[in-house]
Amino acid sequence: MKYTFKDKSYTISRYPKTEQISLRAWNSADEHILKYLEEEEIKLKNIAICNDRFGFLSVLLAEYKPKTILNFRSQEKSIYINLQLNDLDTESVIKTSPLDSIKPYCDLALIKIPKSLDLFRLQMEQLYSASKKDTKIVCAFMTKYFSYQMLDICNEYFELCKQSKAWKKSRLIVLKNKKKRKKSKIKHEITFSNSKKFTQYYGVFSAKKIDYASQFFIQNMVVTLSDNKILDLGSGNGVLTYEAQRQKPDAIVYLVDDSFLAIESSKMNVDPKRSFFYYQDDLSQFEDNSFDLVLSNPPFHFEHETNIDISINLFREVKRCLKKGGSFQLVSSNHLNLKTQLYDFFHKIQIVDQNKKFTVYNCT
């Protein structure tokens, strides 16, 4: 997909690729940020960028060496791919994590407001700490996703919060003049059972409690005596690993998640002596026939998108990594009808249990 900025044409693609041709690598909220920067003649130095999922802003502003805060491994790969596509130095974008201190302080921060307002709060905490007295923060969002909570969060951190007029169904909130305030917590606890609480960073799925799909899955999960090496795919805060290790205390579990904050959260919740953590979006680091059991509550929501292409690609890799005689247990929302896609990779698909919202499958 082509985009022209400052008389230069750029090619920006999505990673991973999708079969849904209507999905682009940017939206008008991204374009609105660039429009504002040009019209206001904003000085582009010491820039921080948040929630740039496919690297659109990072690539177009690469000459200014922005610091891009990476939430996902797939995001990091996407930025790298798009820098290469446009013959740009792959080191021109400085990569940092959501938990890092940003130094030197930024003069300008650009943030696409995420779907999770808990994550937005965590990111505002990071950008507030990286701001000087005259730092300007430009927040962008599509108008249909507006919530007054966005303004409430902005007002917690900055004196001036000016909202723009709508343009191509998007708006901006421009923040200036940081308030004096105490540092906020970026972690919280959610209850799993009477005896177990999970600690996780704000913005990690699910925010208030263990999600219903995982609860239903755990009720039906079976770990056998022969399941010595287990993969937890899309591991989140580690709740499935916790249950697997409860059922089989000597099992070794490999946790894989595309989310940096999810992996960092899971490290606080499971036995580190029997767990290995992988901040990755695929299974390329594992050999064929590696696992006795694979467990997953696979992703299909990506911000405001519903997209099963990523899950289908992961199913293909699960088949490769699963030992002969091993099993792949997963839970899925009924409306996705994943059974059809699972038959592309597995010979036997058993419905273990089903309710009005979710289905638990066992694939061999």
pLDDT (tens digit per residue) in 321-345: 999 999 999 999 999 989 999 999 9
The predicted model gives 105-112 an average pLDDT of 97
Give pLDDT tens digits for 134-144. 999 999 999 99
Residue of 300, 328, 332 whose CA lies nearest to 316: 328
The predicted model gives 45-55 an average pLDDT of 97
pLDDT score of 194 more than 80: no
Q: Are 140 and 171 in contact (CB under 8 A)?
A: yes
Question: Which pLDDT does position 19 carry in this prediction?
Answer: 77
- For the chain, the farthest-separated pair of C-alpha atoms sits apart, in whole angstroms, at 65
The predicted model gives 72-97 an average pLDDT of 98
Token output for 13: 């693609």
Instruction: State the Cα–Cα distance between residues 14 and 219, nearest whole angstrom.
Output: 37
Q: What's the length of the chain? A: 364
| SS3 state at 292 | strand
The predicted model gives 244-251 an average pLDDT of 96
Number of Cβ atoms within 10 Å of the Cβ of 263: 22
Instruction: State the Cα–Cα distance between residues 197 and 205, nearest whole angstrom.
Output: 15
Instruction: State the Cα–Cα distance between residues 333 and 354, nearest whole angstrom.
Output: 10
Backbone dihedral angles phi then psi of residue 238, each to the nearest 5 degrees: 95, 15
Backbone dihedral angles phi then psi of residue 62, each to the nearest 5 degrees: -60, -30
The angle subtended at Cα 101 by Cα 31 and Cα 154, nearest 5°, is 50
Give pLDDT tens digits for 113-155. 999 999 999 999 999 999 999 999 999 999 999 999 999 999 9
Question: Which pLDDT does position 251 carry in this prediction?
Answer: 98
Instruction: State the Cα–Cα distance between residues 160 and 175, nearest whole angstrom.
Output: 6
What residue ranges of the chain are covered by domains with CATH 3.40.50.150?
2-178, 187-363
Backbone dihedral angles phi then psi of residue 227, each to the nearest 5 degrees: -85, 80
Estimate to the nearest angstrom the gap between the alpha carbon of 167 and the chain centroid. Answer: 27
| Paired sense of beta strands 196-201 and 187-193, if any | antiparallel
Question: Which pLDDT does position 196 carry in this prediction?
Answer: 87
Instruction: State the Cα–Cα distance between residues 275 and 292, nearest whole angstrom.
Output: 15
Tell me which of 3.40.50.300, 3.40.50.620, 3.30.230.70, 3.40.50.150 is the CATH number of domain 2-178: 3.40.50.150
pLDDT score of 184 more than 80: yes
pLDDT score of 277 more than 90: yes
pLDDT score of 301 more than 90: no
The predicted model gives 207-232 an average pLDDT of 95
Residue of 152, 148, 154 whose CA lies nearest to 111: 154
CB-neighbour burial class of residue 47 (10 A; exposed 0-12, middle 13-18, buried 19+): buried
- DSSP string of 216-249? HHHHH----TT--EEEEET-TTSHHHHHHHHHST
Question: Which pLDDT does position 343 carry in this prediction?
Answer: 96
Question: Which pLDDT does position 322 carry in this prediction?
Answer: 98
The predicted model gives 58-81 an average pLDDT of 98
Token output for 236: 């989140």
The predicted model gives 38-62 an average pLDDT of 97
Question: Which pLDDT does position 21 carry in this prediction?
Answer: 79
> Which residues on neighbouring strands pair with residue 109, listed in sequence order?
48, 137
pLDDT score of 193 more than 90: no
Question: Which pLDDT does position 260 carry in this prediction?
Answer: 98
Question: Which pLDDT does position 132 carry in this prediction?
Answer: 94
Question: Which pLDDT does position 337 carry in this prediction?
Answer: 86
pLDDT score of 198 more than 80: yes
44 membership: H or E segment, kind and range: none
Question: Which pLDDT does position 223 carry in this prediction?
Answer: 98
pTM of the model: 0.96
pLDDT score of 349 more than 90: yes
What is the residue-averaged pLDDT of the chain?
Answer: 95
Q: What is the second-level CATH architecture of the domain 187-363?
A: 3-Layer(aba) Sandwich (3.40)
